[in-house]
Structure 1
Amino acid sequence: MSDLLLSEDRDRVRTLTLNRPDQLNAFNQALYVALAEALCEADEDPEVAVVLLTGTGRTFSAGTDLLEMKETASGADDGESHGFIRLVDALTAFSKPLVVAVNGLGLGIGVTLLGFADLVLASTKARFKTPFTTLGVAPEAASSFLFPRLIGRQNAAWMLLSGEWISAEEAHEMGFVWRVTEPDELLATAWGHAATLAARPISSLVAVKETMTASLRPGIEAARELENAKFAELLGGPANIEALLAFAEGREPDFTKLPPGA
């Protein structure tokens, strides 16, 4: 297991912990691949009934590593962007219960992956943001399909269109989060619920999850295809470049001076 991702097994619950605290658990390619492989391994392990995912430090995940995104947008990387796709493939295919304990801030993929979770618990200090419009790009990870079904069209529209922060309490009211706890109670509470599930027959857990998610798969695949096309179309465009330059320069982006329609 990579140092970027910690793993611990107890009572048929595998706890995976994002471990880039100095980078606010932002996903670089290595972390995308590590989590994707860990999910696949847990899915295939007959001793694992449930996966519990959380993060170290004060942030669950700050999303995609923007420095790496800037290299991708400028054409300076080696073209390897497979890690994100591998992770979403793994989340889509994961057949066992996935419980997520959001210990702090969640941005981008740190929010959109929650659309694949079966239970989401959050600290009172957690906040959520899908910054696609503020980065000049399109949604990801089938969030354009999953979010409206999870929290309703208008709540999803606000999250995906505005790029504004959503508090843990607001997320709970929307139905995006199942339980909200005090920070020092979060992991124990989440693990307790995961352990309750893990005491059930794995075959039954898998069957229940399959019956709940099978009808969603065609929509997930269609949404991912369209999102990926739109994301590729916008990545490196005027709005995205302005957003990434603003981030690098420590200022707010100014989209008012872009060419018409950009």
Structure 2
Amino acid sequence: MALMSLRGFTQTSRWFRFSSVPAFKFHQTSLMGATVEQFEEAKNKLSTLKKDPGNALKLKIYALFKQATHGPCDTPKPGMLDFVNKAKWDSWKSLGSISQDEARKQYCNLIGSLVEAEGGSSAQEVSAQPAASGHVYNTLLVSTEDDITTIKLNRPAKKNAITTEMYEEIIDALQQAARDTCVLTVFTGAGDFYCSGNDLSNFTKIPEGGVEEMAKAGGDLLRRYVKAYIDFPKPLVAVVNGPAVGISVTILGMFDLVYATESATFHTPFSQLGQSPEGCSSYTYPRLMGPGKASEMLLFNKKLTAVQACQLGLVTEVFPDNSFQSEVWSRLRSYAKLPPNSLALSKQLIRSMEKEQLHAVNDAEVERLVERWTSDECFNAVMSFFQAKAKL
């Protein structure tokens, strides 16, 4: 366990490099105490950035946002092993007692500099609006346009691997999307990966209560995460823009449409990591593709091409790489013009036939995974994974 913790510390240290802040020139139009409207506009612009600004700048953005909306940091310092939240706390604390007006001004200037560095916003990006809640996410880009809410996984440098923070933000984004006025909700990934699944560095963050406490907390989070998909009341679409791994694949059985680019792949290497299926895939996969093909994926780690996944019913349709985005979004915009209540009520009717069963499957899968996470077999498999990565 000590080796895993050390490995996690090394990875996290690489992730947060405070001394290498890019030398962005601050926005030339210095604001004389930014208004609330200007602050809201800056939040909107943040969701249109195409490039990940890097962790040091994201920490600065987070700190200025907290200072602007809450005031000086007054929360307890996270534990030494909670690297991510400690880094965020340190960044917020470093702002000291600067006023909320000053924090708003610095926030607006910084976002303006990032937009300028990308050469300004395209027409498509200008028309995109943030989620109705105005919520700022650290690991997601959430926007609304043409009656479509888009939730984009935004850790492209890490192939959109899902951290604990990201799970919580996705749950929140789904809950917000369920309440907004948009007709469709779409999931996709930033960069050339859809999602590489669970970030295994989550397993290195052992709390004081030990592995058992970590497994219990992870199980509770996973149960809530899958529940958010089961209960989602409106049409849900996955736009799979690249390779997909693990839970990003198993949860696809909860989507109403899955559109994939032809270069996408689908992989669920659970037994390889000493784990077991989740996302209700132990129920949805046999229904979609039959027990034999489901076993090839869930038990024997078979990776599917987009075409194979479509033939098995996991993917709705495959599009050529060079026309994927234009074809898919043109189609989705036309779907979003359909009567919203009719779509939502029809989706809820279809889901109601199996909703109770899905919740029972989710509970059973979580219970099995909590047992797996505390087993020597899983520990050794994850250790082997990190050791293999260290040799690369």
Say yes or no: TM over 0.5. Answer: yes
CA contact (8 A) 1:98 1:118 kept: yes
| Alpha-carbon distance between aligned partners in 2 of 1:84 and 1:178, rounded to the nearest angstrom | 26
Q: Deviations over 1:141-168 (max 9, x none)?
A: 1110111112222221211111121111
| Alpha-carbon distance between aligned partners in 2 of 1:107 and 1:69, rounded to the nearest angstrom | 17
Shift of 1:118: 0.6
Equivalent residue letter for 1:45? D
| Alpha-carbon distance between aligned partners in 2 of 1:176 and 1:38, rounded to the nearest angstrom | 24
- How many pairs are equivalent? 250
1:27 and 2:165 aligned: no
| Alpha-carbon distance between aligned partners in 2 of 1:61 and 1:3, rounded to the nearest angstrom | 16
Equivalent position of 1:259 in the other structure:
none
Q: 1:49 aligns with which of 179, 183, 186?
A: 183
Structure 1 or 2, whichever has the larger Rg, is 2
Q: 1:68 aligns with which of 183, 196, 202?
A: 202
Q: 1:17 aligns with which of 114, 136, 152?
A: 152
Equivalent position of 2:139 in the other structure:
4
Shift of 1:183: 2.4
Deviates more, 1:91-100 or 1:80-89: 80-89
| Alpha-carbon distance between aligned partners in 2 of 1:216 and 1:188, rounded to the nearest angstrom | 34
CA shift in 2, pair 1:223/1:65, >3 Å: same
Equivalent residue letter for 2:146? D
CA contact (8 A) 2:177 2:185 kept: yes
Counterpart of 1:89 in 2: which secondary structure? helix
Q: TM-score if structure 1 supplies the norm length?
A: 0.89
Counterpart of 2:197 in 1: which secondary structure? coil
Structure with greater contact order relative to length (CA < 8 Å, sep ≥ 6): 1
Q: Deviations over 1:1-56 (max 9, x none)?
A: 3131102211101111100111110111111111111111111012x110111001
CA shift in 2, pair 1:88/1:199, >3 Å: same
| Alpha-carbon distance between aligned partners in 1 of 2:328 and 2:255, rounded to the nearest angstrom | 13
Q: 1:239 aligns with which of 360, 366, 377?
A: 377
| Alpha-carbon distance between aligned partners in 2 of 1:59 and 1:217, rounded to the nearest angstrom | 30
CA contact (8 A) 1:98 1:119 kept: yes
| Alpha-carbon distance between aligned partners in 2 of 1:37 and 1:190, rounded to the nearest angstrom | 25
Deviates more, 1:30-39 or 1:81-90: 81-90
Shift of 1:205: 0.6
CA contact (8 A) 1:51 1:98 kept: yes
Counterpart of 2:354 in 1: which secondary structure? helix
Q: Deviations over 1:121-177 (max 9, x none)?
A: 111111111111111111111110111112222221211111121111110111111
Counterpart of 1:52 in 2: which secondary structure? strand
CA contact (8 A) 1:12 1:49 kept: yes
CA shift in 2, pair 1:148/1:164, >3 Å: same
Instruction: Show the 5 A alignment for 1:144-155.
Output: 144-155=282-293
1:165 and 2:300 aligned: no
Q: 2:175 aligns with which of 33, 40, 52?
A: 40
| Alpha-carbon distance between aligned partners in 2 of 1:4 and 1:117, rounded to the nearest angstrom | 21
Equivalent position of 2:230 in the other structure:
92
Shift of 1:95: 0.8
Equivalent position of 1:229 in the other structure:
367
Counterpart of 2:161 in 1: which secondary structure? coil
| Alpha-carbon distance between aligned partners in 2 of 1:72 and 1:242, rounded to the nearest angstrom | 16
Shift of 1:185: 2.3
The gaps in structure 1 that reach 5 residues or longer are: 252-262
Instruction: Show the 5 A alignment for 1:48-197.
Output: 48-71=182-205, 75=210, 79=214, 80-81=217-218, 82-197=220-335
| Alpha-carbon distance between aligned partners in 2 of 1:66 and 1:241, rounded to the nearest angstrom | 11
Deviates more, 1:51-60 or 1:79-88: 79-88
| Alpha-carbon distance between aligned partners in 1 of 2:185 and 2:283, rounded to the nearest angstrom | 24
CA contact (8 A) 1:71 1:77 kept: no
CA contact (8 A) 2:154 2:160 kept: yes
